[in-house]
Amino acid sequence: MGDDEARLQEPRSRPGQFAMLLAKPSQHLVRRPMSILDEGDGWRSYMVKPVGPATRELVATRVGDPLEASEPLGNGFPLPEELGPGPLLLVGGGFGIAPLHFLARRLDAMRHPPKYSILYGGRTARDVEREVLDDVLGPVLPSTDDGTLGFHGTCVDLCVREVERMEQRTASAVVLTCGPHAMMRALFDAVQDRVPTIHVSLEEIMACGVGVCMGCVAHTREGYVPICTHGPVFAAGEIFGFEHQLSHGESAHE
Amino acid sequence: MSEYPIRIGPVEFKNPWFAASGCFGYGLEYKEHIPPSELGAVVTKTVTPLPRAGNPVPRLQETASGLLNSIGLQNVGLEAYLRDKLPPLVEAGGVPFVSISAASLDEYARMAERLTEFPEVVAVEVNLGCPNVDAGGDRDAAEARAVEHFTRTVKERLPDRAVAIKLTPNVTDMVPLARGAEQGGADAIVAINTLGGMDIDLERARPTFARERAGLSGPAIFPVALLKVWEITGAVRIPVVAVGGIASEREVLKFFMAGATAVQLGTVLFSKPTLLREVRSGVRRFLDARGLTHPHELRIARARETADEGPSQEGGKAWVPTR
Ligand SMILES: Cc1cc2nc3c(=O)[nH]c(=O)nc-3n(C[C@H](O)[C@H](O)[C@H](O)COP(=O)(O)OP(=O)(O)OC[C@H]3O[C@@H](n4cnc5c(N)ncnc54)[C@H](O)[C@@H]3O)c2cc1C
Ligand SMILES: Cc1cc2nc3c(=O)[nH]c(=O)nc-3n(C[C@H](O)[C@H](O)[C@H](O)COP(=O)(O)O)c2cc1C
Ligand code: FES
C-alpha cells in the first residue's frame, strides 16, 4: 500500500465527534448537532431521531441527498490507549447508540482490538434499533425497561450486572456512555465506586458548534464550558460532581 | 485590502464589513472561514469588568426565521481578555473593536481608563442593549440621559479611539437614545441589539429560559432593524453601524441604502461562516452595475428629510436608481 493510499484511508473523524447538519434546502436557520454513526471513503452516516421540525426534515432526506454539513466537531471519545487495559463497556440509551456504533467499528478495525461489549437500552423493543449494530463484531446486550427484548430492566441495571461480573475476572472496566442525561447520571451514581474511568457524551442545544456563541454549556469545575469544543465527551466526574453548584449569572458582577 | 474604506470618528477602517458581538467569539474561532484580517473590524464578545458565568441552560431556541438566546454575557472578563484574547487577534491582523458592558458609570470609567493603556484597541463598542442581564442591561439604558452619561464617561477617557454606542430596540423610540449618544460624544451608533422575546416549553408548561426573557436575532428581525437604522440615520449626524438579520448581500445593500456606514454580520455566521465572501462579491457587483464606487453612494434620499437632518457624511449624495 503506497503512502497516498494510506493517507486516503486514514480516518478523518474520531468516534464521538459530531457534525452540524441541516437538510438542503431547509426551513431552518441553525444547523443541528448529530453524532457521526459511521464513515467511509467520501461518506458519513448519521442516525436521526425525528423529535422536531429540523430532524423531521433530515429524516425525509434520502441517501446521497445534499446536506448542509460542517466538518467533524468536538473532541470524541478517548482512544483505548488512553484508557488503560480494562474491558470497555459502551452503554447507549436510545439514539445515544450512534457514536458508540462508530466507536465499535473503529475498535473492530484496530490491529489488536480491545475487549468491549455494547449495552444498548430502550424503553421497549421498538426503541432498540438492533440492526444498527449488525456490522459490529463485539457482543451486543440489549435491554428494555418492559422486558420485550433482552435484559429486563434499564441499561444502567444491566451495566451494574456486567461490572460485577467482570470484577471477578479482570482489571476494572471502563464505561463510555451516551444517552439521556438522567440515564447517564444514574449510571454514574450506580458504578462510580467500582469504575474509575467513566466518560459521558453530553447534549445541549447548539447554534455554532465551534465555541463562539456560548449557547451549549455544561457546568464543570472550570464553570460553564461549551460542550461543542470542550466535549461532547467529558470525564463523568467533571460533570456530575459540579451539577449542583451552578452559580447564578449575575453573581460575577460586583 | 482597503476595498471601501470608511471612517468612524478618529479611526479609518479598511472596509465596512464587521462581525457582530457575540457571533464571532474573540475573533479567531472562525479563522479558517474568515481570517479576521479580512474584516474591517472584529467586534468581540462583550467583556465585563469581571468574568461572568452567564445564564443556566437552555440558552438557545430557534424560532420562525429567528434565534432566541439567553447567554447572559458569559465572558472571560476584561483582564483575561486583554491578556489572552487580544494579542492573538492583533497578531492575526484583526482590528479589535472591543465590546464592553458594565453595571455603573464608575465601572465604565475604570474599563475605559484601563483600555487607554492598549493603543491596539482602536475602537470600543459600548453595549447598552443586552436583554439577558439585570444590572447594565437594556433596561438600564432605555433612557436618553442615561445613554448620554454612559457615552460621555467612556468617550472622555478615550478621545483618540472610535467609541460606538450599541443601543437596544426594546424601547418605544430609539431616536432619543441615539441623540443622547450623539450628545455624549459618540462617534457612531450601532443598531440594533436583540429584540426582547420569550418562549414557553409546552411539555413542561413553563418558560423555556430561566430568565424568561431572551433576545431575538436572525432574519426575523431584519425589517425591524432596517426601520430603526432608517430612523436613526435620519436623526443623527454620526455614522450608524447596522446589525440585525443580515442573511445575504441583499440586506447589506438595504442597510446601506438606509444610510448605514458599516454593517455587522451576526447570527448568520453560525450556519454560514463564509457569508462574508458572498456579501463582498454581491455588493461589488451591485455597485459596478450602477457605476458606483463606494457603498455610501447607495444612500437614498428621503421624502421627509429636513434641512437640519441631512446625510451624516460627506459624499452621502442621494443616488437615483437608473432602472
Ligand atoms: C453532540 C450531539 C450529538 C447528537 N447526536 C444525535 C444523534 O446522533 N441523533 C439524534 O437523533 N439526535 C442527536 N442529537 C440531538 C439533536 O441535535 C436534536 O434532537 C435536534 O437538534 C432537534 O432539532 P429539531 O428541530 O428537530 O427539534 P426541536 O424542535 O429544536 O427540539 C425538539 C426537542 O429536542 C430538544 N433539543 C433540541 N436541540 C437539542 C440538542 N442539540 N440536543 C439535545 N436536545 C435537543 C429540544 O429541547 C426539544 O425538547 C445530538 C445532540 C448533540 C448536542
Ligand atoms: C448568541 C448571541 C450572542 C450575542 N452576544 C452579544 C454580546 O455579547 N454583546 C452584544 O452587544 N450583542 C450580542 N449579541 C447581539 C448581536 O451582536 C446582534 O446585535 C444581534 O444578534 C442582531 O443581529 P443578527 O440578527 O445579525 O444576529 C448576541 C447575539 C447572539 C445571537
Ligand atoms: S454551539 Fe455555540 S458554543 Fe457550542
Q: What is the pLDDT of residues B299-318, one digit of tens each?
A: 999 876 544 544 444 444 44
User: Closest chain A residue to B70 measured between Cα atoms?
Assistant: A215
Is the model's pLDDT at B185 over the cut of 90?
yes
| pLDDT for residue A168 | 67
Query: How far is residue B258's CA from residue B236's CA, in Å, rounded to a whole number?
Result: 13
| pLDDT for residue A3 | 38
- Nearest bound ligand to CA B126? 2
Q: What percent of chain B has pLDDT over 70?
A: 93
- Nearest bound ligand to CA B45? 2
The CATH number of the domain covering residues in B6-287: 3.20.20.70
User: Closest chain A residue to B107 measured between Cα atoms?
Assistant: A254
Tell if the CB–CB gap between B270 and A207 is shorter than 8 Å: yes
Contact B93, B35 (CB under 8 A): yes
Cα of A207 from ligand 3 centre, angstroms: 6
Contact B103, B166 (CB under 8 A): no
Mean of the pLDDT values across residues A88-96?
94
Catalytic site positions of B: 130
User: Closest chain B residue to A227 measured between Cα atoms?
Assistant: B57
Measured between CB atoms, does B137 come within 8 Å of chain A?
no
Interface ipTM: 0.90
- As a whole number, the mean pLDDT across chain A is 87
CA distances from A94 to A177, A180, B58, B231 (A): 11, 8, 21, 52
pLDDT for A12-51, tens place per residue? 899 999 999 999 999 999 999 999 999 998 889 999 999 9
> B60, B100, B105, B275: best mutation site toward chain A, by most A Cβ within 10 Å?
B60
| pLDDT for residue A173 | 87
Q: Is B198 or A84 the better-scoring residue by pLDDT?
A: B198
Q: Does domain A80-243 have CATH number 3.40.50.80?
A: yes
Smallest CA–CA separation between B238 and chain A, in Å?
A: 30
Whether A237 is in the pocket of ligand 3, judged by its Cβ within 6 Å, is no
Is the model's pLDDT at A10 over the cut of 60?
no
pTM of the model: 0.92
| pLDDT for residue B2 | 55
Tell if the CB–CB gap between B58 and A211 is shorter than 8 Å: no
* Strands lying side by side in the sheet with B66-69: B60-63, B66-69, B214-217, B195-197
Is the model's pLDDT at B205 over the cut of 60?
yes
Contact B131, B196 (CB under 8 A): yes
- As a whole number, the mean pLDDT across chain B is 92
Name the pLDDT band for A172 (thresholds 50, 70, 90): confident
Kindly list the domain boundaries of chain A, sorted by start residue. Answer: 3-69, 80-243
Tell if the CB–CB gap between A212 and B66 is shorter than 8 Å: no
Q: DSSP string covering B6-50, please?
A: EEETTEEES-SEEEPTTSSTTS-TTTTTS-GGGSSEEEPPPB-SS
pLDDT for B59-73, tens place per residue? 999 999 999 999 999
The burial of A17, by beta-carbon neighbours within 10 Å (0-12 exposed, 13-18 middle, 19 or more buried), is given as buried
